[in-house]
Structure 1
Amino acid sequence: MADDGTKQSPNVWPLPKFYFRVKWDSNEMSFQEVSGLDIQSEEIKYRSGNSPVFSVIKMPGMKKYGNITMKKGVFKGDNKFWDWLNQIKLNTIKRVPVTISLLDEEGNDTMVWTLTNAWPTKISSTDLKSEGNEVAIESIEIVHEGLTIANK
């Protein structure tokens, strides 16, 4: 009799990355791709003049968050990206929380990335090809002031 996998530990296989949900503010949006979920600690180099070691030491400095790029299909009458970007007026913009959730087979959150005070910095429209056979894709690049990760 073949093993149906019911006795298998849930930690045998890594999570697939193709089932995810994006919420920004209170709206849920569909995206084809999300990238840029990274955090980096900048290094501080220091060496005192009387150090017997002839090299610098490296200390952790300020955290740096990468910009998040999201891509989605273009739909007639869907101007959400442009409407948000057009709200920028002299250093003011509506900053919103963005939640990106990796889902399991039942649609439950397994990993959740939460962006603090996100706002758009760049929008890229689709390319156009007279002989193309692809879907029109637009992208938005957003900046944020913090990233938390919860692995459930």
Structure 2
Amino acid sequence: MTPPTIDTDQRYTFVLEVVGRTLGNFASVQGLEATVQVFEYREGGNNDLVHRLPGAVSYPNLVLSGGMMTPALSSWFRETRLGATRQEVTLTLSADGQVVRRWSFADAFPVRWVGPTFDAGSGRVGAEVVEIAHGGLTELPT
């Protein structure tokens, strides 16, 4: 099976939303993965066979960068620190305004925010970074 190709002439962006609020637009995302723990079980008396059984699934934190957040992100960050419940987060990948793929992240909450960096000598403003812990991901229909 050949993996799909990506048209590099299109402008891709990730949009992060929580409870109907847009948190920001980003150019880069890390952490779209799931890992299944594997348990090995050796059958007694049979040294040629090892049963490999699936265990728990783990998910790394979602890290979004290359963008600027909206004030809704700082509100969500503050609400979480004050004891608000975890929320479902939706991440949408768009190409030139058309939805390509969507994911939902259960029980999500922000764990790190890095504000924009400033370099007075160059006049450039760096993009913000947000890291989100979650309890699992599901791909949504587009």
Which interval holds the TM-score relative to the shorter structure? 0.7 to 0.9
Q: CA deviation at 1:41?
A: 0.8
Equivalent residue letter for 1:36: G
- Decide which moves more: 96-105 or 141-150: 96-105
In the alignment, does 2:87 pair up with 1:96?
yes
- RMSD (Å), alpha carbons: 2.9
Corresponding position of 1:43: 38
From 116, 121, 124, give the equivalent of 1:131. Answer: 121
- Alpha carbons 1:37, 1:68 under 8 Å: kept: yes
Cα displacement string for residues 127-150 of structure 1 (whole angstroms, at most 9, x for unaligned residues): 444434432322111011120114
Corresponding position of 2:21: 27
Corresponding position of 1:85: 77
- Alpha carbons 2:88, 2:108 under 8 Å: kept: yes
> Quick one: distance in 2 between partners of 1:83 and 1:19?
23
> Quick one: distance in 2 between partners of 1:86 and 1:104?
31
From 42, 59, 62, give the equivalent of 2:56. Answer: 62
> Between Structure 1 and Structure 2, which shows a larger proportion of strand residues?
2
> Quick one: distance in 1 between partners of 2:127 and 2:91?
20
SS of aligned partner of 2:76: helix
SS of aligned partner of 1:86: helix
* Distance change (3 Å), C-alpha of 1:128 and 1:20: closer
From 58, 68, 73, give the equivalent of 2:68. Answer: 73
* Distance change (3 Å), C-alpha of 1:99 and 1:24: same
User: Which 4+ runs in 1 deviate beyond 4 A?
Assistant: none
Q: CA deviation at 1:99?
A: 1.4
Identity %: 22
TM-score normalized by the length of structure 1: 0.69
Q: CA deviation at 1:23?
A: 1.9
Aligned length in residues = 135
Look at both structures and tell me which one has the larger radius of gyration over its CA atoms.
Answer: 1
Equivalent residue letter for 1:123: W
Please list every run of 5 or more consecutive structure 2 residues that lacks an aligned counterpart in the other structure. Answer: none
Q: CA deviation at 1:22?
A: 2.5
In the alignment, does 2:101 pair up with 1:111?
yes
In the alignment, does 2:56 pair up with 1:52?
no
> Quick one: distance in 2 between partners of 1:96 and 1:51?
48
* Distance change (3 Å), C-alpha of 1:27 and 1:41: same
